[in-house]
Amino acid sequence: MSRGATALPAILRDAGLSALVAFGLFAVMIGLKTDAGPTSLVLTPRPWAVVLAVAAVFFGRLAMLLWRLWRPAGVPAPRRITAGFARAGRYIAPVVLAVALTLPLYAGRYWLDLGILVLTYVMLGWGLNIVVGLAGLLDLGYVAFYAVGAYSYALLAQDLGLGFWTCLPLAGILAACWGVMLGFPVLRLRGDYLAIVTLAFGEIIRVVILNWTTLTGGPNGISGIPRPTLFGLTFSAGGGPGSFADFFGIEPNLTQRVAFLYYVILGLALLTNWVSLRLRRLPLGRAWEALREDEIACRSLGINVTITKLTAFAMGAMFGGFAGAFFATRQAFISPESFTFIESAMVLAIVVLGGLGSQLGVAMAALIMIGGSEMFRELAEYRMLIFGLALVMMMVLRPRGLVSGRTPSVSLGERHEIAPDLVAQGRG
Amino acid sequence: MAYALQQLINGVTLGMIYGLIAVGYTMVYGIIGMINFAHGDIFMVGAFLSLIAIVGLGMLGITSVPLALIVTLLFAAGIAALYGWAVERIAYRPLRGSFRLAPLISAIGMSIVLQNFVQVSQGARVKPMPQMIPGGVTLLSSDGFAVQLSWMQIAIVITTLILLAAFTWLVTRTPLGRSMRACEQDLKMAGLLGIDTDRTISLTFVIGAALAAVAGLMFLLYYGVIDFFIGFIAGVKAFTAAVLGGIGSLPGAVLGGLAIGLIETFWSAYFSVQYKDVAAFSILVLVLIFMPTGLLGRADIEKV
């Protein structure tokens, strides 16, 4: 405590300076709100909001500095958490899986809907993980494939009358084709350039969907997308012949459909997980991981970098397409608004927070981020603000994600967990 | 012909705005090798600060347009510079030396924060503003089409050129510029030779943000309407401009900005307005594929 007493004035000064900067930032932006007046804009002063914001910064900074001063010495906390997480990992996964499998038995409608949402992002995260986490290709336009999948299903169902299970593989194949189309020209690019080109592609696809009104309905989107069936049995609230409830002779209930959708996305997500785990053991998956670590070494060892990168793009895109088709059938309505850059950023954040390459980490990250931002739903317009702040804070505090150590897919003899600070990141 | 000339004028004006934003991207990328994703949103913040200042000055009864604009410019640039500093201090500095993806994600987070901060504090509605510099000169008229060069466009081009000249002077002639160039060549070596790299990087963000805020003011004056989302598209286009010109090169950023402005304007004029963003982004993709170093950039050789 004596250490704290001597440093206290310095801490107060630091917090005071932060408050001063916050005042500079907020005085105008929060303090003066532009409102529509009778003829032109007028300013409405809001001094109390500024005082509140500045006070929040002051005490927030104070609390942070005090915590930094008084926190227990020894092994830094993140490392202990990581180690504990890694050890607990083999027990967490079966428990999470068991909870996920049995959720519809005891959870209500709200929790199932939330579960579907989280699982959709888990699946997207695992899909993007192939591209970013395994192959080390930074993709900021992943939502494009999600959109391709969703629109493929919606259009095929609407114009050709095909069902969900026929369209699902088609949507995946179409998205994979787009992945190859996108991947082909950008193969030569590295790192940030690749990121910005994929972002541009994502935007191009969104703008085209938005403006190609005759095909996609433009901003109005497509509605009345058919729901999936269970071997031909429909899930309708009214029951009736050919419905699930009628066939099994039970009371028709909307929760049945939600539970069915839940199991569909759970199955799709587990498929994604299984495929990527298996792929990691194939020569292809090993080539991806090698590519992530060092592209030049890969070339020197005779790995076909073109094919390797393209398959990663195609594989990731395919799962994005599956997830998109599911999204379309769950919502029964899609519009370009669902496929903005923020979705790409969200999925990428999940993958990075999950620790780039860790399947369990991605699932936990999706649970925390999507579930967490769902908890803040009442805050309405503050929700994204909090999301952004959380993103920055998580990056600053734990840049390597929740599960930041890495177990090598290939090793000689016994496998050792690689500590987070030793994981060399591929530059590609 | 007259129509094309008019588009040329409009395109150059737009290109100047993009160029000013692109300078911020190119400087930051040159020094610390990251895409400052929040830069487009600093531009948006600058536009909002300008709007508040103009409305505020109007309510105070200042009617002289040049005076109001100069005060607004200084005010917006100053506070936006503070925003640039704060963003760097909060989101990027703790991550220096971390792996490459971390600052990018942090920057995306900061971009979300700035957008939603402005949305929450200023409202989600678009903010219209009456034209401040009306009128112009008619250069020539033929085929019943008059080529207009508005005072606004002249003001935008002249302000940009003055700022760029001042900035070039800063980079090439002052001690700060020298340390910036040193940091760009080799950050670690510059640090070893006694350059305060943290301070240099901070100042780079501050200057970039101030320039972006001026671009925001110009955008506000030129289009007369802003909302909290303008930063994203403008940011991506300005980054495109920086890449097109060769990232890390200042004249390249301006050249790239002009190119993007012209492409966008001519595309809107002769093809379709809806797809103008697609045109700009396609250029980005094509340039990166066929000319990854850009117009004035240096080839980047990857060493083992």
- Name residue, tokens 């192939």: A130
Contact A193 B49 (CB under 8 A): no
Asked if A25 reaches chain B (Cβ–Cβ under 8 Å), the answer is yes
Domain boundaries, given as residue ranges, for chain B: 2-229
Instruction: Give the pair of three-digit tokens for residue A392.
Output: 């920055």
- Tens of pLDDT, residues A324-342: 999 998 888 888 888 988 8
pLDDT higher than 70, residue A148:
yes
pLDDT higher than 50, residue A54:
yes
A377 exposed, middle or buried (CB, 10 Å; 0-12, 13-18, 19+)? exposed
Chain B residues touching residue A57 (CB < 8 angstroms):
none
How many other CB atoms are there within 10 angstroms of residue A410's CB atom?
11
Band (pLDDT 50/70/90 cuts) for residue A123 is very high
Q: DSSP letters of A68-129?
A: HHHS--SS-HHHHHHHHHHHHHHHHHHHHHHHHHHHHHH--HHHHHHHHHHHHHHHHHHHHI
- Give the gap in angstroms from C-alpha A290 to the nearest C-alpha of chain B: 15
Residue A86 pLDDT: 62
User: Looking at chain A, which residue has its C-alpha nearest residue B83?
Assistant: A25
| A195 closest CB neighbour out of B59, B104, B240 | B104
Chain B residues touching residue A216 (CB < 8 angstroms):
none
**Residues 357..396 of A with a Cβ closer than 8 Å to B: which?**
381-382, 384-385, 387-392, 395-396
- Tens of pLDDT, residues B54-88: 988 888 888 788 888 999 999 999 999 999 999 99
**Residues 262..291 of A with a Cβ closer than 8 Å to B: which?**
none
Q: What is the mean pLDDT of residues B29-50?
A: 90
Pick among B60, B281, B301 to test the A interface (most A CBs inside 10 A): B281
Contact B275 A211 (CB under 8 A): yes
User: Looking at chain A, which residue has its C-alpha nearest residue B226?
Assistant: A34
| B129 closest CB neighbour out of A24, A41, A199 | A41
- Tens of pLDDT, residues A286-318: 898 888 888 888 889 998 888 888 999 999 999
Better pLDDT: A94 or A320: A320
Band (pLDDT 50/70/90 cuts) for residue A82 is low
pLDDT higher than 80, residue B144:
no
Cα gap B102→B37, rounded to integer Å: 12
Domain boundaries, given as residue ranges, for chain A: 2-70, 78-422
Q: What is the mean pLDDT of residues B119-137?
A: 84
Residue B142 pLDDT: 74
Chain A residues touching residue B240 (CB < 8 angstroms):
196, 200
- What residues contact A410, with CB distance under 8 A and at least 6 apart? A286, A289
β-bridge pairing B145-150 and B225-226: unpaired
How many other CB atoms are there within 10 angstroms of residue B148's CB atom?
15
- Name residue, tokens 């939502």: A143
Better pLDDT: A7 or B256: B256
Chain B residues touching residue A43 (CB < 8 angstroms):
52, 55-56, 59
Residue A8 pLDDT: 81
- Give the gap in angstroms from C-alpha B178 to the nearest C-alpha of chain A: 26
Cα gap A120→A115, rounded to integer Å: 8
Q: What is the mean pLDDT of residues A214-233?
A: 80
Q: What is the mean pLDDT of residues A169-174?
A: 92
B204 secondary structure, DSSP code:
H
| A385 closest CB neighbour out of B120, B281, B292 | B120
Chain A residues touching residue B55 (CB < 8 angstroms):
34, 40-43
Contact A389 B109 (CB under 8 A): yes
User: Looking at chain A, which residue has its C-alpha nearest residue B98?
Assistant: A399
How many other CB atoms are there within 10 angstroms of residue B54's CB atom?
26
Chain B residues touching residue A28 (CB < 8 angstroms):
49, 52-53, 79
pLDDT higher than 80, residue B53:
yes
Cα gap A355→A361, rounded to integer Å: 6
List helix spans (H) across A212-253.
213-216, 244-248
User: Looking at chain B, which residue has its C-alpha nearest residue A137?
Assistant: B101
Contact A348 B108 (CB under 8 A): yes
Chain B residues touching residue A218 (CB < 8 angstroms):
none
User: Looking at chain B, which residue has its C-alpha nearest residue A294?
Assistant: B304
Contact A25 B83 (CB under 8 A): yes
Cα gap B284→B276, rounded to integer Å: 13
End-to-end CA distance of chain A: 47
Are A392 and B110 a contacting pair, CB within 8 Å?
A: yes
Provide the angle, in degrees to the nearest 10, between the axes of the packed helices B151-173 and B197-223: 170
Q: What are phi and psi of A36, to 5 degrees?
A: -75, 120
> Can you say whether the dihedral through the CA atoms of A377, A380, A386, A388 is positive or negative?
positive
- Give the gap in angstroms from C-alpha B123 to the nearest C-alpha of chain A: 8
Q: What percent of chain A has pLDDT over 70?
A: 84
Chain B residues touching residue A138 (CB < 8 angstroms):
101, 104
Asked if A399 reaches chain B (Cβ–Cβ under 8 Å), the answer is yes
- Tens of pLDDT, residues A233-268: 777 666 666 677 667 767 767 777 888 889 989 999
Residue B19 pLDDT: 93
- Tens of pLDDT, residues B173-223: 999 999 998 988 888 899 999 999 999 999 999 999 999 999 999 999 998
Cα gap A346→A339, rounded to integer Å: 11
- Name residue, tokens 């058919």: A226
Asked if A356 reaches chain B (Cβ–Cβ under 8 Å), the answer is yes
Instruction: Give the pair of three-digit tokens for residue A376.
Output: 């803040």
Residue B170 pLDDT: 92
Contact A32 B56 (CB under 8 A): yes
Q: DSSP letters of A304-319?
A: -HHHHHHHHHHHHHHH
Chain A residues touching residue B291 (CB < 8 angstroms):
none
| B112 closest CB neighbour out of A201, A204, A384 | A384
Better pLDDT: A136 or A242: A136
How many other CB atoms are there within 10 angstroms of residue A175's CB atom?
30
Residue A140 pLDDT: 87
Residue A69 pLDDT: 77
Better pLDDT: A410 or B248: B248
Residue type at position B145: F
Q: State how far the alpha carbon of A318 is from the alpha carbons of A174, A202, A276, in Å.
A: 8, 15, 12
Contact B113 A388 (CB under 8 A): yes
Better pLDDT: B303 or B117: B117
Chain A residues touching residue B122 (CB < 8 angstroms):
29, 33-34
Q: Please state, rounded to an integer, the average pLDDT across all residues of chain A.
A: 81
Contact B288 A186 (CB under 8 A): yes
pLDDT higher than 50, residue B260:
yes
| B95 closest CB neighbour out of A200, A399, A427 | A399
- Give the gap in angstroms from C-alpha A228 to the nearest C-alpha of chain B: 34
Q: State how far the alpha carbon of B74 is from the alpha carbons of A120, B70, B71, B79, B230, in Å.
A: 48, 6, 5, 9, 21
pLDDT higher than 80, residue B227:
yes
Instruction: Give the pair of three-digit tokens for residue B84.
Output: 């640039």
β-bridge pairing A222-223 and A41-45: unpaired
Instruction: Give the pair of three-digit tokens for residue A175.
Output: 């998205």
Band (pLDDT 50/70/90 cuts) for residue A426 is very low
Q: What percent of chain B has pLDDT over 70?
A: 98
List helix spans (H) across chain B.
2-32, 39-60, 65-87, 101-122, 151-173, 175-185, 187-192, 197-223, 230-245, 250-270, 276-290
- Give the gap in angstroms from C-alpha A41 to the nearest C-alpha of chain B: 7
- What residues contact B151, with CB distance under 8 A and at least 6 apart? B133, B134, B135, B136
Size of interface A-B (CB pairs under 8 A): 188
Contact B130 A40 (CB under 8 A): yes
Q: What is the mean pLDDT of residues A164-180?
A: 91
Chain-centre distance for alpha carbon A367: 10
Provide the angle, in degrees to the nearest 10, between the axes of the packed helices A341-353 and A143-155: 120
Better pLDDT: A71 or B235: B235
How many residues make up chain B in this entry?
A: 304
Cα gap B246→B239, rounded to integer Å: 10
Residue B174 pLDDT: 92
Better pLDDT: A381 or A327: A327
Contact B281 A204 (CB under 8 A): yes
Contact B101 A388 (CB under 8 A): no
